[in-house]
Structure formats: C-alpha cells, structure tokens
Amino acid sequence: MSTTKTRYVDGFVLMVPTKNTAAYKKMATEARKIWKKFGALDYKECIADSLSPEMGGMKSWGFKVMTKVKDDETIWFSYITYKSKKHRDEVNKKVMTYFEKKYAKAEMQMPFDMKRFAYGGFTVAVGA
C-alpha cells in the first residue's frame, strides 16, 4: 500500500461465475490501471479461498451464507483506497468520464450479475 495515509476505502463483494474468472480478471486489470492513473492510492481484487473460517475457535458466519453464492460461482472481495472521501469523489469522476468516453458506442458486457454485488464507501477508523 502507498505510504500516503489511507483515510477512505471503497469496498466491493461480488459473485463471479467461475467460468468468467478470466474475463473478470481482464476487466479488473484494466480498471486497476485506470483508477491508479487517476489517483487511487491502491486497488486490490481478491478471490475467495477460505469461506468458512474459524478464528480462535469462533466460527464465522461466512461470506458463503451472506452472499448466497452458487456452486458455480466464486466470491471476490475488492477494494480501492483513497486519501479522503473528497479524493475518492474526484478520482471516481475522472474514471467514469474515461469509461463513458471509451465505451460510449459499445455495450459493455459484465462478467458477473450487477444485481448481485455489494458496494460501499468506508471511512478508515483504525489504522489510518
């Protein structure tokens, strides 16, 4: 992560059909380059590999239950970090303008169901 202190994070949880993993990675790789180009401090795409973890004997509710993931899907947890919420808004405005111009005449096919993903912005409360 950047040496600049992160104060704001956008987080995402989505289910990608396993057969679409390569397409999602390709899309995410392009997205990472663009977010970083326009000022995001960091951009990570993480694929689930431990979905029923225990911590110190305490069983977790788990992402499988929370997301209702199907057998042919993989859960992804992704996050983008910024200096502040204002910085996030500035970066995202530039990113959206870039993608709107690039894909203005093309119908972009998403490799996952847009109705089944979660997104939110978070202020860093510990570790900033």
**CATH assignment at residue 23:** 3.30.70.100
Determine contact, residues 75/116, Cβ cutoff 8 Å. no
Eight-state DSSP code of residue 108: P
Tens digit of pLDDT for each residue in 23-51?
999 999 999 999 999 999 999 999 998 87
Domain count, the chain: 1
In a domain, 22, yes or no: yes
Determine contact, residues 5/101, Cβ cutoff 8 Å. no
Provide φ and ψ at 123, rounded to 5°: -80, 130
Provide the angle, in degrees to the nearest 10, between the axes of the packed helices 85-102 and 21-37: 120
Does pLDDT of 17 surpass 70? yes
pLDDT average, residue stretch 10-26: 96
In a domain, 114, yes or no: yes
In a domain, 1, yes or no: no
**Residue 19: left (phi > 0), alpha (psi -120 to 50), or beta?**
alpha
In a domain, 30, yes or no: yes
In a domain, 67, yes or no: yes
Q: 106 lies in which domain range? A: 8-123
Q: What is the pTM of this model?
A: 0.87
In a domain, 128, yes or no: no
In a domain, 91, yes or no: yes
